[in-house]
Amino acid sequence: MDHPAEQKERDLKHVTRIVPKRELIDRYAITTNSIMVDIRIYSEDEKPVPEYIASITNISDATKIILEKIRQEFISKMSLTEIENLEQNELLNVKERFKDEIRKLIQTYFAKADENTTNMLINYLLQENLGLGKVEILLQDPSLEEIVINNHKEPVWVYHKKHGWLITNIKIVSEARIRHLASIIGRDIGKEITNLNPLMDAHLMTGDRVNATLSPISTKGHTITIRKFAQDPWTITKFLKENVITYEAAAFIWLAVQNELSVIISGGTGSGKTSMLNVISNFFPPNQRIISIEDTRELTLAEQLHWVPMETRLPNPEGKGGVTMLDLLVNSLRMRPDRILVGEIRRKAEAEVLLEAMHTGHSVYATLHANNSEEVVTRLTNPPIEIPKPMIASLGLVVIQNRNRRTGKRRTLQLAEITPTGDPEILMRLNIAKDKLEDVKKSKHVMDRIELYTGMREDEVMNDLREKVRILKWIVKRNISDVNRLGIIMTQYYTGTLKMD
């Protein structure tokens, strides 16, 4: 028989062996309305995704209990439905009235609170009652790309730029609260979500895109999906530093853009299509007029550029006042554009107008959902778009973006040129094992066009590419990643005044 001490030691070893390992993998702080929040991200062996833990650090637990009492007192005076139905000016009046009332209560409960502390507590309660609650914290985290509410039983999920999908410690208290959040988002831009209209596409005043659905359309409960607007947009510098693309591929795209070849950027959802569209815009010369057309503003171009951003509009509940992508495309051709940027090609009429624009001398840059260059041609030439294949020959380049769902890494998967017959010829392809974009074959059709339009010999074009690589390396070495600073560099390049130290 085993000695009790030996048995105990074996039991302890067994316990130690099966306890999941929890590791802090990231930590940083954010501030929203003077509320300080500590963000910690933990990984745990037996959990499928890491945890995102947000903790307010400058409000104690005891203070939160008192604030919750004040919040409940306010809610008892005005229902969520009443708040949802308020007009914008009425909401401002309620906020001002609430500020006055809460200031009195704070002075009663927190007699020693100074003005800064009082204002911070007021902001916290306004956020909880008339704003988006703890979701406001997530909106202020620049590391997040997506915020997802699936129902009130599950915690909120987020997509982190560095760590991918994470599950948070934030929960929405009820389905009614989720519906309330969707309603106040819609109200701010004149949209509504109801049982008769249970789907809503909207955006916040900050430009963040919002999609909401109501149960029973979403069978587990009401949902809200927020795709955050990039306040600090992707630039070629960031793409190069993150190894999304190589210097040689970036220089080749720059060469094509400089010489006004049209480009389609394709890939799956979340692969970085719009980010690449923004990166390509870094190469635009400052003396040309650029029109961008999007469903929701996501692009941010350098302020030095002659840029007119335009946005579609859904019809009102009576079906009036809608402005479609096609409306804006047709209208843009009357605005003397040199370059046209399009958020996404979806329908035949849009593709026809874009290809007609290419044939009449405009450079077009657009995104499309397709996973590789062959699929791009298949999508364009089959229903619902169904463009005759020879018309595609007016395209210059196809850039395919990809996101590895296992690692979360975004990469340029393929760079292809379009032949006179409308077929794709792959010039560069990602070697996934080496994580590097490699040459497949030399360009013929793009080079032929550039030599035809510029009069440059092949050796001169190659020298130009090498010079572009040198400039890009200099930009990365100096860490020039701000879109407006890059705009200045490109202006100097095109005017011949760029001096590299």
144-149/223-227 β-pairing: antiparallel
Q: What is the dihedral of CA 363, 369, 375, 376, to 10 degrees?
A: -10
35-44/51-56 β-pairing: antiparallel
Give which of 270, 248, 446, 442 is closest to 371, Cα–Cα: 270
**Rounded to whole angstroms, how far apart are CA atoms 52 and 42?**
7
Query: Both ends of the chain: CA-CA distance in Å?
Result: 80
Render 348-395 in DSSP notation, one character per residue.
HHHHHHHHHHHHTT-EEEEEEE-SSHHHHHHHHHSTTT---GGGGGG-
pLDDT tens digits, one per residue of 318-354:
778 889 999 999 999 999 999 999 988 888 888 888 8
Domains and CATH numbers, the chain: 236-495 (3.40.50.300)
Residue-level pLDDT, tens digit, the chain, 501 residues: 556 666 666 665 555 555 678 899 999 999 887 788 999 999 998 888 999 999 988 777 778 777 777 777 766 665 555 565 555 555 556 667 677 777 877 777 777 778 888 888 877 877 776 678 889 889 999 999 999 999 999 999 999 988 989 999 999 989 998 998 998 888 777 778 999 889 998 888 787 889 999 999 999 999 999 998 877 789 999 999 999 999 999 999 999 999 999 999 999 988 999 999 999 999 999 999 999 999 878 899 999 999 999 998 877 767 788 899 999 999 999 999 999 999 888 888 888 888 888 888 899 999 999 999 999 999 999 998 999 888 899 999 999 999 987 787 899 999 999 999 999 999 999 999 999 999 999 999 999 999 998 999 999 999 999 999 999 999 999 999 999 999 999 999 999 999 997
Specify whether the CB–CB gap between 291 and 335 falls below 8 A. Answer: yes
Give which of 468, 449, 424 is closest to 264, Cα–Cα: 424
**Rounded to whole angstroms, how far apart are CA atoms 283 and 281?**
5
In this predicted structure, what is the pLDDT of residue 207? 79
What is the pTM assigned to this prediction?
0.80
